Amino acid sequence: MNFKNIVMGIAIMILTISVVVQGVSIFYDQPEQGYFCSDGVRVPLSEKGDIVCPEICVELYEIQNGGCVLNECGSGCGPDGVSTFSKLSQCEIALTGKNCYDVYDNVMESYSRNVFMISLPVGILIIAAGALIFGLETVGAGLMAGGVGVILWGVMGFWRFADEWLKFILSLVGLVALIWLAYYFNKRFEKKGGKKRAVRKLKKKRRK
């Protein structure tokens, strides 16, 4: 491969990863922390240190009588994340007594696992397409590297939630896959290089 082909292969790899990542994000939204937890609002203080709230209506949800009630003209200080909230979902989580960050982590674990389960077969299919379908070395190498990148993207998102034994298996599978890719490419390039050399020799003989 010359320098131009290497640059083209890297570009194909980056765009392959980008297409998959953006495609997944379009059809499968990542949970936002703000849906579960309120950051609260910084309350302005007077010179004496007293709380001063602007004389404006702020729409928020309040915990009243064991339920969440919408107050269309709440305190100008805004939600405090304890008894008043900007979103109904935040208020409902507070009513359960659960820590909103724990709830968010549980949802993110499920999301990351699902993304991994999506990225793994997609990455394998891209690698297979680059290895078996596309004969052009630049395209094949770029797609295969992009497939590996897609799998790594899914693995890294799920990594912090995975158990130690699962991390070991994922690392082992990744190592085996990389060794196989290196072996496959060396064989493929050797065959193509041998064919090119044979063609050159044949042309030289004909000229003579």
Structural domain boundaries of the chain? 3-32+101-207, 42-86
* Maximum average pLDDT range among 29-33, 43-47, 178-182: 29-33
Average pLDDT taken over every residue of the chain: 80
Q: Tell me how far CA of residue 34 lies from CA of 91, 104, 138, in angstroms.
A: 12, 9, 43
Contact predicate 37/90, CB 8 Å: yes
Q: Ramachandran region of residue 136, left (φ > 0), alpha (ψ -120 to 50) or beta?
A: beta
pLDDT digits (tens, 9 = 90+) for 34-44: 888 876 555 55
pTM (predicted TM-score): 0.69
How far apart are the C-alpha atoms of 152 and 147, rounded to whole Å? 9
